Amino acid sequence: MQRIAIDMDEVIADFIPKHLHVFNRDYNENLTVNDLTGTRLRELRPQFLREINAYVDDPLFFRDLAVMQDSQEVMQQLSERFEIFITTAAMEVPASFTAKYEWLKEHFPFLDEMNFVFCGDKSIIHADYLIDDHARHFERFKGKGILFTAPHNLNETGYVRVNNWLDVRDYFLR
């Protein structure tokens, strides 16, 4: 059975709307996802770099992220034909461990927690496919990288791209 490794933030967990929401609230701004095309919040507002990064150090930040549209249904279908692992660079945000674990158990109860991986350098992942929004994780990955579209990676070329979970379904199950 082939194995698909799947990232969390901006792939199954909708990170950006919450990050923008707390930033807009605290700094009286009205930034939208469109403002992040080809960039990131910390690049758009470098004067608030420290504050922007600090949001994710809140142990609860990741606990109530929205689930990416169609990800639950499609992953349920994928899990009947593929071995599914969740592979998230949680070591970049150690405060997030518990929230990420609980979030996965809540929203993807059909997955086995023995298939959750909290790592940093994803070259350690042994899988046939890796669905991720960060192309840098594909550089030393031995399987096939599949780029999940996010505002910051719109200018990235050279990888199979999926724009949403219906694209993921079509790629693996058509």
Catalytic residues: 7, 9
Site size toward a second copy, by CB under 8 A: 28
Q: Quick one: which of 112, 154, 163, 166 contacts a second copy (CB under 8 A)?
A: 112
23 φ, ψ (degrees, to nearest 5) = -70, -50
Least distance in Å: CB of 94 to a second copy?
5
Nearer to a second copy, 38 or 94 (CB): 94
- Give the residue from 124, 132, 142 showing the smallest Cα distance to 168: 132
Q: Quick one: which of 2, 53, 69, 123 contacts a second copy (CB under 8 A)?
A: 123
Which neighbouring-strand residues pair with 162?
148
92, 62 Cβ separation under 8 angstroms: no
Instruction: Please state, in angstroms and rounded to a whole number, the distance separating the CA atoms of residues 147 and 156.
Output: 9
For residue 119, state whether it binds a second copy (rule: CB under 8 A). yes
- Give the residue from 127, 88, 91, 120 showing the smallest Cα distance to 104: 88
Distance linking the first and last C-alpha atoms of the chain: 17
Least distance in Å: CB of 91 to a second copy?
5
Least distance in Å: CB of 92 to a second copy?
8
Nearer to a second copy, 118 or 159 (CB): 118
Least distance in Å: CB of 130 to a second copy?
11
List of residues 6+ apart from 60 with CB closer than 8 A: 99
- Give the residue from 48, 10, 28, 2 showing the smallest Cα distance to 147: 10
71 to 90, contacts with a second copy by CB under 8 A? Answer: 85, 87, 89-90
Q: Quick one: which of 43, 64, 73, 120 contacts a second copy (CB under 8 A)?
A: 120
Task: Give the footprint of a second copy on this chain (CB under 8 A).
Answer: 3, 5, 85, 87, 89-92, 94, 97-98, 101, 112-121, 123-127, 142
